[in-house]
Amino acid sequence: MPLIEFHNVNKWFGDFHVLKNINESVNKGEVLVICGPSGSGKSTLVRCINRLEDIQQGEIIINGQVVTHKNQDLNALRSEIGIVFQQFNLYPHLTVLKNITLAPIKVKKITKEEAEQTALRLLDRVGIGNQAHKYPIELSGGQQQRVAIARALAMKPQIMLFDEPTSALDPEMINEVLNVMKNLAREGMTMLCVTHEMGFAREVADRVIFMDHGEILERGTPGHFFTSPEHERTKAFLREIL
């Protein structure tokens, strides 16, 4: 059984049809890379999974449960799904440690000591164990994004969503973030990554989908996607980006 399923998902922003008849599924432990030009609906697709955006038609099913109905407990759903944003969105008034421990303490109700231990372990894992007591503004962009990943992981999510995690970073900081994501993929995390990092896609993606104007135009393994794309627009996109 797939972990995440999209069934005929449609979404509009006013008159603008952002997602058109999306059907897709992601298995447990799979890494799916979503690429496409800006405005193609790829970020929206990812943000529908944790209901940061609501869909108007179709359904999204996680672990066999429809999560897009009205009575869904959003906080319960969201505590199972980590998300990493383009702009990091760390809490500037809290230290790195408190950024990470806030949700586990308040949502999962675990003790402060346990949350801090987990946080320090995660910070070590993303390579910034010595920055726990700094404020976000004192860190570089790459470090901030790694804190954001640690913050998402602290909730022990089943699924990790990445919404262009490296697009706001200076080039020399992109790799430190991608390396963390690669390790996560190797450890078997189910990941959906909206990204323009084709090297990353080639190396760790199980499948790549290409979106344009709200539709999935191309889907396949990285091998298929990069060597023999079928759709003209995919070819044009790859020429632009590679």
Partner 1 sequence: MDTFTTWFFGLFTNWPVVWKNFDYLLIGAYPQGPLGGLAMSIVMAVIGIFGAFWIGLAVGLMRLSRKKWLSWPALVYIEIIRGTPLLMVIFWFYFFAPILLGQAVPETHSAIAAFTVFTSAYVAEIVRAGVLAIPKGQTEAARSSGLSHTQTMMYIILPQALRNMIPSFVNQFVSLTKDTSLAMIINVNELTLSARHIYTRTMKAPMEIFLTIAVLYFIICWVLTAFSRKLERNMSRYQARNNAH
Indicate the residue among 131 and 234 with the shorter CB distance to partner 1: 131
Q: Please, which residue, 61 or 102, has the CB nearer to partner 1?
A: 102
- The distance of closest approach from Cβ of residue 234 to partner 1 in the complex, given in angstroms and rounded to an integer, is 26
Asked if 22 and 61 count as a contact pair (C-beta separation under 8 A), the reply is: no
CB of 63 to partner 1, least distance (A): 16
d(CA 97, CA 82) in angstroms, rounded, equals 17
Assigned token pair, 219: 């889907």
Tokens at 5, concatenated: 């399923």
Enumerate binding residues for partner 1 (CB under 8 A): 50, 52, 74-76, 78-79, 81-83, 85, 87, 89-93, 102-103, 106-108, 135, 137, 148, 151-152, 155, 168
Of the pair 9, 153, the CB lying nearest partner 1 is at: 153
What does the radius of gyration of the chain's CA atoms come to, in whole angstroms? 18
Nearer to partner 1, 155 or 208 (CB): 155
Report in angstroms how near the CB of residue 191 gets to partner 1 at its nearest: 16
Q: Are the CB atoms for 47 and 34 separated by under 8 Å?
A: no
Q: Which is nearer to partner 1, 79 or 175 (CB)?
A: 79
The least CB distance from residue 91 to partner 1, in Å, is 6
Q: Residue 55: which residues within 8 A CB-CB, separation 6 or more? A: 9, 10, 11, 19, 48, 68
CB of 49 to partner 1, least distance (A): 10
With contact defined as beta carbons under 8 Å apart, do 48 and 60 qualify? yes
Q: Cα-flanking dihedrals φ and ψ of residue 179, to 5°?
A: -65, -40
